[in-house]
Chains A and B, each alone.
Chain A
Amino acid sequence: MFNKVYNKLFDVVKWIYTFFAVNILWLLFRAESILQWRDLISKMFSFQNMAISDGLIDIFSLPENTLIFNELNLTKINTSVRGLSMFLFIIVAYLICLVPENNYKTLNKTNFVNVIISAITFVWAFLCLSSESVFVYFNF
């Protein structure tokens, strides 16, 4: 009975392990020296500043947010909750990773939901190829 729970739990432990390993080892490429890498690691795990920067939150402020928040009636919450879009983004990303079956298993499935999701994501990706030109005024 516990074997199934144990296996599921062990999966989560494996994900966490992979997540930490990738993050820590990625820093090796970012750091200019091993000494700097060690410094970064020690600062990360000393948990002295847990604040999420505005810059990081702004990355998740997508142009689509207006439409999504409006249609889901989340506009008011969005103005009062800092980083709501980032939080939702993470939740949706987790749901996409954990809930549906692996893509390789559904490769040859031709159901109705599949076709709608595929078409919408294609159109969305197509729209993302163009963006509005923004001029930053300096050195005039």
Chain B
Amino acid sequence: MKKRQIAWIILYFAIVGGLLVIIGSWTYRVDPFFHFHKPKTDSYFYPLNNQRSQNDGIVRNFEYDGLITGTSMAENFKTSEAEKFFGGNFIKVPYSGGSYKEINDNLKVALSHNNNLNKIIRGLDMGKFFDKKDYMREDLGTYPLYLYDDNIFNDVQYIFNRDVIFSRVYPMIKENVEESFTGGITTFDTYSNWMDSCPFGRIELYPDGVTVKESAAKMEITEEEKTLF
């Protein structure tokens, strides 16, 4: 093999290796799914919008002593209200359409990683009482199982993930350099909360108020009608 070809191969592997190290280290640093560490809210803004990918990291790496979980029936619960009533610091980790098994698995992770956890608010959907104990919603999508285990080798699917890099890590880094940038995270009150899309209440139904008309004369049943009844 000629020297030039050897140099080409070495350079090729050096560039590939270099690019992978840069990309991997950025994903590790930003960590939009909280898989490696708690969020760096001083440096980035973390949108919470993927329950199956983010809930596991939330229960592993956040600081809390109360937890709200359940299906979509628990999505509108507000951690601020739970904190007001029960005190402490709550997180919310709901699973849209999730099964009891899925919620249980997440709770087990929470209890094993957080000794301070002492309050759990959990929605109990009656419709799921008779599901099989290991039933999972395979029909909704593919679970990112590489995020749920402690195997560091399959994390390659997260560190070198096209969607994570281009749709999450890059925009978060880009935001960070803007002058108006303020770091943070989506509040747990608004995380997965769909209440805004369902208007309700008296004002929504009758914005102009309800007009009550008194009938002119009261009608009473006659003696004949009483007998008939």
> A interface vs B, CB < 8 Å?
62-64, 66-67, 70, 110, 112, 114-116, 118-120, 122-123, 126-140
> B interface vs A, CB < 8 Å?
4-5, 7-8, 11-12, 15-16, 19-20, 23, 50-53, 71-72, 96-97, 137, 139-144, 156-158, 160-168, 170-171, 174
Residue ID in chain B nearest A108 by CB atoms: B5
Across the interface, A130 reaches (CB within 8 A) one of B96, B143, B160, namely: B160
| Shortest distance between the CB of B132 and any CB in chain A (Å) | 16
Q: A66-B171, A140-B71, A140-B97 are in contact. Are A131 and B163 (CB under 8 A)?
A: yes
Q: Is the CB of B12 within 8 A of A115?
A: yes
Whole-angstrom distance between the alpha carbons of A112 and B166 in the complex?
A: 27
What are 10 sample pairs from A and B whose C-beta atoms fall under 8 A apart?
A63-B163, A64-B166, A119-B12, A119-B15, A126-B160, A130-B163, A133-B53, A135-B96, A135-B97, A137-B97
Q: Is the CB of A118 within 8 A of B12?
A: yes
Residue ID in chain B nearest A127 by CB atoms: B162
Residue ID in chain B nearest A114 by CB atoms: B8
Residues of B within 8 A of A110 (CB): 4-5, 7-8
Interface centre among B5, B12, B162 (most CB of A within 10 A): B162
Q: Give the 8 A-B CB pairs with smallest separation, nearest first.
A: A132-B163, A119-B15, A63-B166, A135-B141, A110-B8, A140-B97, A130-B161, A133-B144
Interface centre among A70, A110, A122 (most CB of B within 10 A): A110
Q: Is the CB of B170 within 8 A of A132?
A: no
Interface centre among A131, A133, A134, A139 (most CB of B within 10 A): A133
Q: Is the CB of B23 within 8 A of A127?
A: yes
| Shortest distance between the CB of A136 and any CB in chain B (Å) | 6
Residue ID in chain B nearest A131 by CB atoms: B163
Residue ID in chain A nearest B144 by CB atoms: A133
Q: Is the CB of A131 within 8 A of B141?
A: no
